[in-house]
Each structure stands twice: as structure tokens, then as C-alpha cells.
A and B are shown apart, each in its own frame.
Chain A
């Protein structure tokens, strides 16, 4: 039996009907076609599906869509402002902090959630914030450098 789900995604309110067991990631990807958010492990252990729900980074494969009812969701598609990149996006490009790019949307959302909560994290805090996001390509250090460059204010004037 489908149930009503009201969800604000990237500022847009959606009124949907979903099955009780439908996962948030499936609503985002399949119902709404926002395919930037990925799914890679089906077990909540890789972070590719990370979105920001009510200000917190969550793994959208581990959240039932109905649990997010009435919530505010931010996905990778909502990270840039129009055609203006968010500082972490600029930094990821400058530092080469992605290769295949499949973990990148989740990684960027984890980074954004961290910086929203703590604009001056230490290197250790940055590593902790992305420890739930598996990247098989980069070895993480370029990602840490990218986030650090945002913390150090490299992109401040563009904010």
C-alpha cells in the first residue's frame, strides 16, 4: 500500500506516493531522476549515496523514504548555485580529488555537511568525516587537501 510522502529536495517540494519499504535513494534516483546520487554497496558501508537530510549527512540507502517525510534533503544537484560552483566543488577540481567520479557526489555531500557544521575542522576531523565514504581511486589524500584548501579560505571571495 503506497503512502503519501512530502519531501523538499534542493528547495523544491515534492508530493509523492511510495511503498513503505522504498528507500530514500530510490526516490531520489528513480522517482525524481536525480541520478547524481549513487548507490554502490546496498549495505550502508560505502557512502556513495550520501545526501544531506535536515542538515546531517546520511546514507540514503539506509533511510526509508517515509522516515524522511516532511524533511529537507540536499543532493549533489543542489550543491552549486545555478552555474556557480560551491567552494568544495572548485577545490575538488583544482586538487584532482576525484578520478572515476562515482563516489564523488557522496564525498562532496559529506564534505559540505562537515563544513556547514564546523567551518574550521582539523585534518583528523576531515578524515573522520569522510571515513564512511569509500573511494577506490584517489587514496583520499587529494580529497583531504581539497577540503583543507576550502577551510584555509582559498575560495572565500567566490562564496
Chain B
């Protein structure tokens, strides 16, 4: 029997009744009295000077209430890097120069969206087009155009990671491979496009309804850019229709609605069109990888050297962190004694690239897992055996980088090995590819230089025993409202239905850095657990006094029953004790406070999830068409708090990660995106989705609440590599650039038949 009463049970999502009836309100559904609608005018040029902007015709259009340009801003530059001003390089509206097709230059507020749209055509912008550069390999050349003044060779950021003696180790290797890989861009495709309603009131305070992954960052950055006091900006996060990293950073959507609302004194709503969502929000970072991998004859990995150049796009955004993490994850999940990484992020005249579910790890894992199969084949070693020989183990230190406590990756490999054996002999042109991975459970990054705790929570117990849980955690669909309510109910010893969560409203909830790097379960979960424990202690004080039991007896609460821990039949009703406790405090509610900031856990994350995935594909050798048949995953999330939510995260990630591997792409022509619509951007639909199976591995993470760690992003990392490895098994060709389209597979098959070569390049 489980030692838990709430954790690990299959419960309905606490937001379910609202979400299945259409009652759930998203920012998209928010309308305020007297509200105006706004649209943003964007640059049609990839790189140009702004010589003049004439808004007079637009302002005269009936129904237009106001137009803003860069002149109406405070002239500040923004970015998530409050501590590093050189990385804050984005303007609310460009004042002197545009750097990609989609850069914002003006915004119009009108009585309705059609009028605002019509007014955009009446704004006259005089541009002087400049030479543009789109490919990062071209951008870093001496004669490339300068995108940001003072940035040499357009190199926005560099990152270096090194341990051991790599050069010496390569000399000792029996076999060394050098390969190149290309990792393509990917769009988040949130079903709810970025949108915001800002309402600046006569009291000088602003209320913002935002589709955001961090109410707190939205509050702080809007205040900073608009010249308001932080606490005078109240950010309310309604339900959010998907984020995956794209709704973590701010852009003209939030800032322009705020700017226009301050100018006009009316609520202003901006909803990005689907085309804007594709062209003018951030996206997954394209990367060029050069990798040298060395092993001994028996398959022990001795050294790895990685050089990466990433396409940064026009601005910094979260790019330098993606650059660091792709280097960090390029060693995962293996014990490399010698390792060196050098990453360069180049500015280009394309839409900025940044964080997307996996945060640099999907690229690293595609490269690692592809090349590992390649070197295993060279050495005549089985893919399972080479992984088993080199995998991380519990209590492993990534030298100078990270301390890994729980690590179930070897158990995961065992589960997958058994699955592959069960699957047995495959039909012709079918193949199963393996891919192993690890991921962070929250990031120990404080770009924002916040003095607040990373996560905080308040638990209040009311007279009827109902528990109000206040947290800044942002549920963007991943289910943190449910998971955190379960943690609260478990710790306090009540039922899930006793907990009401109030989340992500900066006017009432304690600050939390938000939903990114898979941090809510571990980081906010720890804060919630601490707050609930604090409230519970107050109840137990009262109960102990009432029961008059010997001081050596510990009290506990389970399922609303306060009892002596080892004599559960002796106890009191939770509800009675709550009433007495509140009476004893002269009517004050019982309150518990909790917080969490990782300490002494290295510089990346307090804990790491792991897993191994097997993907079975069939390949049509006549057309190169790949079909995903089965994706079987063994994932180590530590204790699973919310099994329905966890399964949903793992299964859902496969659709996004599978799309990254074989169909999603963003082709451009001179900086212009060619497929900015859901019809043209090929993503996985119901008929394309493989069968999925999740094999549970049980571990305990000492740093996590009740032993839990992440389940949100880890599984977006292995699938592309597994698909590549499966295709190699099925038809004997190796594709080293993403996405693995039918055209590439077919060309590789033809090339192989003609030349006997097995590697195809773009």
C-alpha cells in the first residue's frame, strides 16, 4: 500500500470542469468595459534604418483613438537579463533601426480590430534598407553587415565548458569520429496566440491580463519599461493556451497594450494574429554542430569536443542560456571523463531564437544519440551495450557543473531493452531506434537578479477546514494547479477537494519565477510543502494540547484525521481542531508560509530527470516517407505526484518532439518565413501520432517534494535522435540534419545505392 493518500492517485485536473465546458477564461476571452483593440505595425524589411514615421493619416481615420511609435517610449531597452545590460537589446518599438521582418515599429488602438488593422496601412514609414545576413556562418565573417553597433562579428554570446584533458584523451582513443549536424528551428505554435489586455486606471495603477508563463517577470519588466512602480502593476494570469517557452519573455504584445493604455486611459487589448505568432515571436534555436567523439575499443567514451554556432536572430532573448545548456546537455546522460564545449551565438536578420521546451537539450540529444549509434556501429557494439557502459549513475558529479543525486537511467534502459526484445523480429523497412536523455528540474539561473525566493507559497486554513493555497506558479496547461494542490493536500493530511488554489496573480500571490525549465513541481512544490507543513504544525500544537498525549508520541494528519502516528485509531477530527485552533488565535486564520531557492546544488539545477525512449518507424524506400509507429518511453521523474498529469506531459511531448524530428520546419527566403500558418506549418495531427507507452521507473529524489522531479520537458529531447536511429536501422541511411524529411531520406537511399555511402548532408 502506498504511504501516500493523495500523491500518486489518478485524480481529475482541478481545472477540468471549467476546461471541458468552455467556462475557462483565457486572456483571449477577456473583454473590459470601454476597451480598445490594438494592432502592431511590423517591419517588412529584414534590416533597415528608420528615417521617418508619419502617423497622421492613421490618426485621422474614424475610430482610431491613438497611435504610438518608438518616440512615445522611454527609450529603454528590455530583456530578461536585468543583471546584464549588454544583453538587454530589444525595444518596445524600434526607434532607429529594424533588424528582422516582423520587428515592431508602431501600434494603433481603435474601437475594433478591423479599424486598427485598416489604420496600419495608413502609417507611412520611410526605410533605408541595409544589407542583411541570415545565415549565422555568414554573419560571423569580417565583411558581414553589423546588426548591433559595437558587437564584433555579430557574436552575441560565447559559452565555454571544459573538464579533464581533452587533447591528451583523444590521443588515447582507439577510435575517433568527427561529424557535423544541423538542428532546425521549430515554432511553439501555442493554440492561444500571444495576447494581453492592459488597463491603466485613473489611480495611476495598471492591471494586466496576460497570457504569460511568469506573472512576476511580466510585472517587473512592464513596470521597468513603462516607468511604473513594480507594485503598481498587477498582473493576472488567466488560463493560458500553451507556452513552451514562448510566453516567458515579453514582446510588443504586452508593452504596446500597456503603452497605449497609459496614453489613452482606456483598457487596450492586443491579440497577435497567427501569422504574427509565427513571424514575430521567439522560436527554437537552429544550431550547427561540429562534434568529435572518441572511444576505446570496448566502447568506453573517453573524450568529446563540441563546437556549436547558433542562429541567434535579431536579439538576445534567452539565447545565451540555450547556448550554455546545449553545451551542458551535450555530455548527457553519460560520464565523460574529458569534455570540451565552445558555443557561439550569432546575431542574424531573422526572428530571434530562444527557449523552447527542452531549452537547448533537444539539439544536444539529437546529436549525442545519433553519433553514439554511429560510433557503436563502427566499433561493432550493440546500441544498448554502449549506453549501459557509459551512463550516469546516482550521486554522479558532472565536473564543475552539477551534482546529480537520483538517477534511474540504467533502470530505464533495462525497461526499454526488455521492450525491444518483446517486440521481436520486425517487418522489412521497419526499425527501432533508441535515445537516452536527461533534463533539469528547474534552473538555478537568476538572470533577473531577483532578491525574492525562486518560489514561495502561502497556505491559509479557513474555519470550515477549506485550505486556500496562494502561489505564483503559472499553470499554462502543464497542470501545476493540480500537482501543487495535491502536494498541499498530502502534506496537510486533507483531501484534494479541500484545497482551493489561487495562482499567478501578483496582486494576491507571493512572487514565483514562473513556469520554465520544468521548475514548478520541484521548486514551487517544495515551497507549497513547506507552507503546508507550517500550517499543519500549528494544528498539531492545538491537537497535542487537547489530546494530552505523552510528548514522545508524534502526531500526524491523514485524510482529515489528526492522530497519534503509530496509534492511528486515537485521534481527533481535522475540522474540530481547525475550529479550536482559530478560536485560540482570537479568530485569525491558520497561515503557513513556505519558500524555496536551491543552495549547494551546482550551477544548473537541483535535480535531474532521466529516461530512455524507443521509437519504431517504417520507411517507404520508394518515397522516403517515414511513419512513426510506436514510441515507448521509460522515464524517471522520481516520485510521480500526479500520474494523469505526468502521463499527459510525457505523451504530449512525443507529438512535439516527433514533429521536430521529422516534419516541423521554418524555411525562409531572405529572412521571410515561407510557412506562417497552421495549414502550411506541418505538425503532428491525430492520424500521424504513434502509439505511445510509458514504462514507469521508481526513484526517489532527495531534493524534490516527496521525492519528485520534472516531467515537463525532458521528453521533448530524445525523439528526434530515436527517429534518426530508427531510420538508420530500417533502411541503412543516416540523416544528420533536421527535420528528417522524405526528400532527405530518399536522397540518402539513392546516394547509398549509387555510391555505397550511408551519410547524407544538406
Q: A residues engaging B (CB < 8 A)? A: 34-38, 40-46, 48, 75-77, 79-80, 85, 89, 92-96, 98-105, 108, 127-128, 130-144
Contacts and interface: CB of A to CB of B under 8 A. Distances in A.
Chain B: number of interface residues, binned into ranges: 35 or more
Given A99-B652, A136-B191, A139-B651, A89 B242 contact: no
A105 B653 CA distance: 21
Scoring B191, B241, B477, B647 by chain A CB atoms within 10 A of each residue's CB, the highest score goes to B191
Contacts of B297: none
B84 to A, nearest CB: 32
B239 A100 contact: yes
Nearest to B689: A140
B460 to A, nearest CB: 27
Contacts of A85: 17, 20-21
A93 B16 contact: yes
Nearest to B112: A30
A98 B478 CA distance: 10
A101 B241 contact: yes
Nearest to B643: A96
Scoring B479, B656, B685 by chain A CB atoms within 10 A of each residue's CB, the highest score goes to B685
Contact of A139 (B24, B28, B275, B689): B689
Contacts of B26: 38, 102
A79 B17 CA distance: 12
B691 interface: yes
A141 B691 contact: yes
A136 B21 CA distance: 19
Scoring A34, A42, A141, A142 by chain B CB atoms within 10 A of each residue's CB, the highest score goes to A141
Nearest to A95: B644
A46 B13 CA distance: 24
Scoring A36, A76, A127, A132 by chain B CB atoms within 10 A of each residue's CB, the highest score goes to A36
Contact of A142 (B16, B18, B240, B648): B648
Nearest to B685: A131
B658 to A, nearest CB: 8
B686 interface: yes
Contacts of B191: 38, 40, 46, 48, 100, 102-103, 134-136
B673 interface: no
B17 A93 contact: yes
Contacts of B168: none
A22 to B, nearest CB: 10
B273 A42 contact: yes
Given A93-B13, A136-B188, 6 more contacts: A38-B191, A44-B679, A85-B17, A103-B191, A134-B685, A138-B648
Contacts of A34: 22
B391 interface: no
Nearest to B651: A139
A137 B476 CA distance: 10
Contacts of B653: 139
A141 B478 CA distance: 16
A127 B683 contact: no
B192 A102 contact: yes
Interface in B109-132: none
Given A40-B191, A96-B647, A98-B20, A137 B477 contact: yes
Contacts of B22: 34-37, 75-77, 79, 105
Given A36-B21, A99-B477, A134-B191, A141 B692 contact: yes
A139 B239 contact: no
A101 B239 contact: yes
B83 interface: no
Contacts of B15: 101
Contacts of A38: 26, 28, 191-192, 241
A99 B692 contact: no
A93 B686 contact: no
Given A40-B274, A139-B652, A100 B20 contact: no
A100 B211 CA distance: 11
A29 to B, nearest CB: 8
A34 to B, nearest CB: 7
Given A38-B191, A43-B274, A102 B242 contact: yes
B552 interface: no
B677 interface: yes
Contacts of A45: 677-679
B478 A89 contact: no
Scoring A38, A48, A102, A132 by chain B CB atoms within 10 A of each residue's CB, the highest score goes to A102
A132 B23 CA distance: 23
A136 B188 CA distance: 9
Contact of B683 (A35, A36, A136): A136
A104 B28 contact: no
A103 B26 CA distance: 12
Nearest to A108: B20
Interface string B548-566: 0000000000000000000
Contacts of A141: 651, 689, 691-692
Interface of B: 12-13, 15-26, 28-29, 188-193, 239-242, 244, 273-275, 476-479, 644-645, 647-649, 651-656, 677-679, 683-687, 689, 691-692
A100 B240 contact: yes
Contacts, number: 162
B192 A100 contact: yes
A143 B651 CA distance: 11
A41 B651 contact: no
10 contacts: A36-B21, A42-B275, A80-B21, A92-B20, A96-B13, A98-B16, A134-B189, A136-B190, A136-B683, A138-B652
A99 B479 contact: yes
A20 to B, nearest CB: 14
A41 to B, nearest CB: 4
B13 A98 contact: yes
Contacts of A36: 21-23
Nearest to A91: B20
A101 B477 contact: yes
A137 B648 contact: yes
Nearest to A80: B21
Contacts of B16: 92-93, 98
A143 B686 contact: yes
A19 B63 CA distance: 17
Nearest to A76: B22
A101 B189 contact: no
A100 B477 contact: yes
A88 to B, nearest CB: 8
B598 to A, nearest CB: 27
A103 to B, nearest CB: 5
B449 to A, nearest CB: 30
Scoring A76, A100, A132, A136 by chain B CB atoms within 10 A of each residue's CB, the highest score goes to A100
Contacts of A131: 685-687
Contact of B686 (A41, A79, A99, A140): A140
A94 B685 CA distance: 22
A143 B687 CA distance: 12
Contact of B241 (A35, A42, A44, A100): A100
A42 B20 CA distance: 23
A85 to B, nearest CB: 7
B21 A94 contact: no
Scoring B18, B22, B273, B653 by chain A CB atoms within 10 A of each residue's CB, the highest score goes to B22
B485 to A, nearest CB: 15
A101 B689 contact: no
A41 B679 CA distance: 8
A48 B22 CA distance: 12
Nearest to B189: A136
Contact of A43 (B189, B242, B649, B678): B678
A77 B21 contact: yes
Contact of B21 (A79, A95, A132, A137): A79
A142 B25 contact: no
B275 to A, nearest CB: 8
A100 B242 contact: yes
Contact of B652 (A43, A48, A137, A144): A137
Q: Pick the 3 closest A-B CB pairs, nearest first.
A: A36-B22, A100-B477, A102-B241
B21 A89 contact: yes
B190 A138 contact: no
